[in-house]
Structure 1
């Protein structure tokens, strides 16, 4: 017995509301796969269920082997906005769109960046330990800082960077923006100061918040030379992707007092290995790559991912969410 149903792979973290949008359709068959599945197991699973027509990815890698195993892939989507784990040229060769969740998680990441700035400036970890450890009298020896009047440099002025800028402006900070792909007029219209030279802007910043994609151009962007340009009182925040910051160089700068602190939601290797050098530093706060994965963001991203899949299957792809625009007619 044959069926005309399209088979859609979704991760186990796909939200109930996102599933509901797909389950309303009687022409779709949903297959769930684990979030942390190995490349080999994922390829085998695709082959077993082939033909597979759509996939909603978490962090799982996807490229030529997975496309071959799928047999009839029509659309690849990410429950998020990053796409460095997807082989875009492989998709484009087959005219398959790669789609992302648009603005669904950008408020959440912007909030995490602001949270990390505040946590570091207000010395939240130290203040908490002073109370818990009965060292009340030490509080005046490690006074916190204000964001008010400070200068923040936002690297990348896309969906997340623009929202981070608004939150920094609400804290009455001076906002510099480095993004060579955005017109200076657009940055000025948002009430920020565009900077064309990253190296020249770094010495001005009290905080640097990274919001650019991970590309060959941005890998190692914050290396030892760049970190040396920052003030010793400055803080670096990375909620974008691991690898944009050179971790050994960051560890050296933080441990030698050349940089005041850092907030990291992402790492070169995820999860980072046990005993990572950054773990021993008290001036680093860390999170396990969850800036864009709040309860609300998962709902928004899953729902947008479901709409992305349906738009392609119905012949009207949501163009603004397609990364490889070359596949569109």
Structure 2
């Protein structure tokens, strides 16, 4: 390897399209590491390969220990948009940008949120089982209902929340939006109704769909008190991050019939433990944190991740995809 080559550690889930961008470059060396790697093994790998100039992360955590082990980190990238496993403050102290995949997976997550709403509203799981079990005659005891005319509260109006809102508007729903970081004018321009008080809005929503990042402010956002503000006929959808919803409180509300159902793509612990009590409830649909991991989204995210990393290394960073853009100044 020549002295001016940049060494990048790339998680195994990066798409071939992203890898191809690196392969085209004579000044880049890539080394693959497993998607599921322990913290100790990852630190050891960084030390072994140091200096490492960039990493493309799946679910692997990254912070001070990894920065120290890398020797000369220039860019950290997430193959996705969530970054709760990354110590952004540690990166910022060393002027290392954290790059995320922008809008690459937002259509996929928005579709999953709408899919979960429809699946619950149309009672797809229950009616499927009813036909298979020879219970045709009891179908009118499990009547589905329409999204048409219902009110959905979108919590978080960023890349994914805005796309989810568009899809809900297409279903002729009333779309309310809670996001303290987006102006009421921008929300109205998108055809939605802004709400400034989350607690006041919850009792009026037929669906609540979460699209906010997990931060100190949003961890545990939907606890027992907040879930209790939702009406018993309402549904809660979480395709954002585990830990925004307190799962024990959600379970209690569902069992007590104080909430109609829930759709969960994410969990407090991932993977969740075997025998998780939410698994047994007929009004809960679950997925293994794949809302943003469709075939097409993986291709888009891989390409964007490679472009993000190369833009930083080339001195022309894609600023809108940097979480801590101030380090680029």
TM-score, shorter chain, exceeding 0.5: yes
**Hey, what does 1:196 align to over in structure 2?**
196
Structure 2: 5+ residue runs without aligned partners?
Answer: none
Q: TM-score, normalised by structure 1?
A: 0.99
**Hey, what does 2:239 align to over in structure 1?**
239
| Aligned residue runs from structure 1 range 61-80, under 5 A | 61-80=61-80
Structure 1 position 2, deviation (Å): 5.0
- Using the alignment, how far apart are the partners of 2:104 and 2:241 within structure 1? 17
- Report the secondary structure of 1:140's partner residue: helix
Structure 1 position 82, deviation (Å): 0.4
| Aligned residue runs from structure 1 range 51-130, under 5 A | 51-130=51-130
Number of corresponding residues: 329
Deviations for 1:15-54, whole angstroms, at most 9, x for unmatched residues?
Answer: 1111001110010011001111111111111111111101
| Aligned residue runs from structure 1 range 194-273, under 5 A | 194-273=194-273
- Report the secondary structure of 2:80's partner residue: coil
Are 1:163 and 2:163 matched, yes or no? yes
- Using the alignment, how far apart are the partners of 1:150 and 1:245 within structure 2? 23
**Hey, what does 2:21 align to over in structure 1?**
21
**Hey, what does 2:49 align to over in structure 1?**
49
Structure 1 position 280, deviation (Å): 1.4
Give 4+ residue runs of structure 1 displaced > 6 Å after superposition.
none
Structure 1 position 4, deviation (Å): 2.2
Are 1:287 and 2:278 matched, yes or no? no
Structure 1 position 274, deviation (Å): 1.2
Moved more, 130-139 or 78-87: 130-139
Moved more, 273-282 or 192-201: 273-282
**Hey, what does 1:31 align to over in structure 2?**
31
Structure 1 position 135, deviation (Å): 1.1
Structure 1: 5+ residue runs without aligned partners?
Answer: none
